[in-house]
Chains A and B, each alone.
Chain A
Amino acid sequence: MTALTHINKIVALLCAMSLINLFHVAIAGEMKDAGTSAHENKIEIKDFAFNPKTLTVKSGEKVTWINRDEEPHTIVSVEKQFKKSTALDTDQGFTITAGAPGTYNYFCSVHPKMTGTIVVEK
Chain B
Amino acid sequence: MSDYISHDHEHDGIDRRGFLHCMAWAGTGLLWTISGGVLASRTLAEIAKAGGSLPAATDLSFLQISDSHIGFSKEANKDVTETFKIALDRINAMPTPPSFLIHTGDITQLSKPEEFDTFDEVLKSCRTKDVFYVPGEHDVLNDGEKLYRERYLKSVEAKGAGWYSFNKNGVHFIGLVNVLNLQAGGLGQLGDDQLEWLEDDVKGLGADTPIVVFAHIPLWAVYPQWGWGTSDSERALGYLKRFGSVTVLNGHIHQVLQKVEGNVTFHTAMSTAFPQPAPGTAPSPGPMKVPAEQLRSLLGLTSVDYKQGKTALAVVDSNLS
Contact = CB atoms under 8 A, between A and B. Distances in A.
Interface string B167-196: 000000000000000111111000000000
B16 interface: no
A94 B7 CA distance: 9
Given A69-B286, A113-B185, A86 B6 contact: no
Chain A, interface size category, equals: 35 or more
A82 B8 CA distance: 9
B283 A92 contact: no
B294 interface: no
A47 interface: yes
Contacts, number: 102
A99 B6 contact: yes
A88 to B, nearest CB: 7
Contacts of B75: 70
B58 interface: no
Given A109-B182, A118-B5, A86 B284 contact: no
A83 interface: yes
A63 interface: yes
10 contacts: A48-B226, A48-B286, A86-B142, A88-B10, A89-B110, A94-B9, A97-B5, A113-B186, A113-B227, A115-B185
In the A-B complex, the 9 residue pairs with the smallest Cβ-Cβ separation, listed nearest first, are: A83-B7, A107-B184, A47-B284, A87-B141, A82-B5, A81-B4, A48-B284, A112-B182, A99-B5
Interface of A: 47-49, 63, 69-72, 74, 76-78, 81-83, 85-90, 92-100, 102, 104-107, 109-113, 115, 118, 120
Interface of B: 2-10, 72, 74-76, 109-111, 137-138, 141-142, 182-187, 225-227, 283-287
